[in-house]
Amino acid sequence: MSIINQNQSVTHGEKILNLSFALNPNEMTAFEDLKHTFGIHEGNLSVLSEDAKDFALHKGIVMRTLDLPKDARVPVPFCIVPSCFPQKLFDYAVELQQHINYLLYTIAHSKEFLQECLASTIETDEFTANIFKIYEAVEKRNNQQPSLGLIRSDYLMNHDSEDVGIKQIENNTIAASFGGLSPSVRDLHEHILEKLGVKDFDCKMPFNDSASDLAKGVVMAWDYYENKSAAVLFVVEEVTTNIGDQRAIEYAISELESQIEVLRCTFAELRTHLKVLDNKLYVKEKEVAVVYYRVGYMPEHYELQDWETRLEIERSHAIKCPSVGLHLAGTKKVQLCLAQPGMLERFLPCEVADKLRRVFASQYSLDMDEAGDQAVELGMANPSQFVLKPEREGGGNNKYGEDLRSFLQEIGSTQQRQAYILMERVIPPVVSNCIIQSNKAPQPCSITCELGIYGVILGSGDKIYYNYNAGHVLRSKATSSNEGGIVAGFGALDSPYLT
């Protein structure tokens, strides 16, 4: 293939593909790979891309963007074909999930452990401190109350690893996203591979029913509440950009149990429409069985009075997804504590602990002690080998490279550093794909993939009623970007093509 310059048009039969983007050598290689593996070339890319976008809209793989009118929906950015992912690593992560569900659920009920892990974070980070205050306020009463976890554990392949070959990036216990859309992305990829005439792809694309599996968790919690006229409450943002994902879960709930009414309310609406009577939670006069948070994982989601709302919900008998305990169990500081020698064995049998520990990346606390001082020095001396992570969710918060170094220089000797952890930077292998985005030319590029495995757990106190795997998602980003916020436009939905 010849080098194609910006705005150059290439004619292939009747189709004219206007490659209004420059292909740098990296992108050229990606395009060559796509041609070789899947038969994508200059002549069919444009048609495939239009088809794939319509298929995405047809399947509800959609989001809102803030620059378009409220009712407009565009496809969520996605990769045009599935990305190769080693079956062995995929299976390893899948096999861990029920143990991770159990581990996080148990930690949610272990006040001492949470206190021990989070003591220094709480001193510095007001957001974590606010959640912990609610935990303490309700801990005795709620420890025996049922709670629901819709969890996602994320992994990057570890290019240099001689060990398992994947490293865990984090556990998401609140508002874990994209389980609603992931099965449809598999359908989209199936459709594209059929169009391309690829043979025998079905066995390479693992079955994925995450939308329904996650919805089943909500339905089971609703069932457990034992009031057939009670509703499920989704707590949502003022403007939900990731709307297709949330609706997919909502509609899967209705498909499983048509009796369930799903309410969608913001914290602002709950200020006037929420009441608790005899420990029962009511929203707009309707009793609520399950509260599913799709918001509430960052400080900006709360006005001062919304903390009171979260406390009221937590105090009520409604089943929380997640409870504040489970929210705290998903913090980065808990992840770091679990990586310390002997910690996993407190909760898991030795052989399971060994298996899980093998996917842990090295992590360093930045507490105000000698080990913390050493970690600051380590990070500053080798910034490219680490990621500096605050106790935040939602992407875009981490620091890398020179930023990391100068930031540690600034806060490295202050208490502020306790709100961060230092983590070994995992360097995943590069895969070729082509990212499709609304109103942009298809972009062949090298990407890296992050695998998310979903799990569901429902229990009360030390009794666990359900604990199961709930499918997966692959999220990919161009190698030119450090983080892959999909709705923010840096990443793309993908699906694994097992090799």
DSSP H helical segments within 197-289, as ranges?
210-225, 243-256, 267-273
Active-site pick, 177, 365, 433, 476: 177
* Residue 125 or 250 having the CB closest to ligand ADP: 125
Phi, psi of 388 (to 5 degrees): -100, 120
232 binds ligand ADP (CB under 6 A): no
105: three-class secondary structure by DSSP: helix
| # binding residues, Mg ion (CB under 5 A) | 2
Task: Tell me, yes or no, if 167 is annotated catalytic.
Answer: no
* Residue 31 or 420 having the CB closest to ligand ADP: 420
CA 295 to chain centre: 13
Q: Which of residues 196-225 bind ligand ADP (CB under 6 A)?
A: none
Binding mask 147-176 for ligand ADP (x = CB under 6 A): -------x-x------------xx------
450 binds ligand ADP (CB under 6 A): yes
Task: Tell me, yes or no, if 111 is annotated catalytic.
Answer: no
Active-site pick, 53, 64, 333, 389: 389
Tokens of 466: 């359900």
Is the separation of the CB atoms in 221 and 150 below 8 Å? no
* Nearest-angstrom CA–CA distance, 406 and 403: 5
* Nearest-angstrom CA–CA distance, 335 and 169: 9
Handedness of CA 37, 42, 48, 53 (dihedral sign): positive
Measured in residues, the chain has a length of 499
Q: Which of residues 50-89 bind ligand ADP (CB under 6 A)?
A: none
Phi, psi of 416 (to 5 degrees): -55, -30
Give the side-chain half-sphere CA count within 13 A for 45: 23
Active-site pick, 372, 393, 398, 450: 393
Task: Tell me, yes or no, if 382 is annotated catalytic.
Answer: no
* Nearest-angstrom CA–CA distance, 478 and 38: 19
Task: Tell me, yes or no, if 475 is annotated catalytic.
Answer: yes
Active-site pick, 475, 477, 491, 495: 475
Task: Answer with the entry of Mg ion, ligand ADP, none that 483 interacts with (C-beta below 5 to 8 A by kind).
Answer: ligand ADP
Q: Which of residues 368-407 bind Mg ion (CB under 5 A)?
A: 393
Q: How far is the CB of 234 from ligand ADP (least distance, A)?
A: 20
Task: Answer with the entry of ligand ADP, Mg ion, none that 260 interacts with (C-beta below 5 to 8 A by kind).
Answer: none
Binding mask 164-203 for Mg ion (x = CB under 5 A): --------x-------------------------------
Helices (H) and strands (E) in the chain, counts: 15, 23
Q: How far is the CB of 483 from ligand ADP (least distance, A)?
A: 4
Binding mask 310-349 for ligand ADP (x = CB under 6 A): ----------------------------------------
Task: Tell me, yes or no, if 332 is annotated catalytic.
Answer: yes
Active-site pick, 394, 401, 485, 489: 394
* Residue 247 or 425 having the CB closest to ligand ADP: 425
* Residue 266 or 397 having the CB closest to ligand ADP: 397
258: three-class secondary structure by DSSP: coil
Q: How far is the CB of 475 from ligand ADP (least distance, A)?
A: 7
Active-site pick, 64, 152, 216, 417: 152
Q: Which of residues 329-358 bind Mg ion (CB under 5 A)?
A: none
Is the separation of the CB atoms in 435 and 480 below 8 Å? no
Task: Answer with the entry of ligand ADP, Mg ion, none that 387 interacts with (C-beta below 5 to 8 A by kind).
Answer: ligand ADP
Using CA atoms, how far residue 132 sits from 57, 251, 270, 360, in Å, is 41, 33, 21, 25
* Residue 360 or 468 having the CB closest to ligand ADP: 360
Is the separation of the CB atoms in 402 and 382 below 8 Å? no
Residue with tokens 């994320």: 154
Task: Tell me, yes or no, if 172 is annotated catalytic.
Answer: yes
CA 350 to chain centre: 28
Active-site pick, 170, 190, 237, 269: 170
Handedness of CA 157, 163, 169, 173 (dihedral sign): positive
* Residue 417 or 425 having the CB closest to ligand ADP: 425
Closest CA to 289 of 248, 310, 261, 324: 261
Question: Binding ligand ADP by CB under 6 A: which of 181, 361, 449, 458?
Answer: 361
| # binding residues, ligand ADP (CB under 6 A) | 20
Closest CA to 262 of 248, 277, 241, 276: 248
Cβ-in-10-Å burial (0-12, 13-18, 19+) of 410 comes to exposed
* Nearest-angstrom CA–CA distance, 113 and 314: 20
Q: Which of residues 380-439 bind ligand ADP (CB under 6 A)?
A: 387, 389, 392-395, 397-398, 423-426
Task: Tell me, yes or no, if 20 is annotated catalytic.
Answer: no
Active-site pick, 53, 294, 332, 399: 332
Q: How far is the CB of 394 from Mg ion (least distance, A)?
A: 7
* 3-class DSSP string for 332-355: HHHHHHHCCCCCHHHCCCHHHHHH
Characterize the bridge pairing of strands 431-436 and 443-460: antiparallel
449 binds ligand ADP (CB under 6 A): no
Q: How far is the CB of 51 from Mg ion (least distance, A)?
A: 32
Active site residues: 152, 170, 172, 177, 332, 389, 393-394, 475
Which parts of this chain interact with Mg ion (CB under 5 A)? 172, 393
Which parts of this chain interact with ligand ADP (CB under 6 A)? 154, 156, 169-170, 361, 387, 389, 392-395, 397-398, 423-426, 450, 483-484
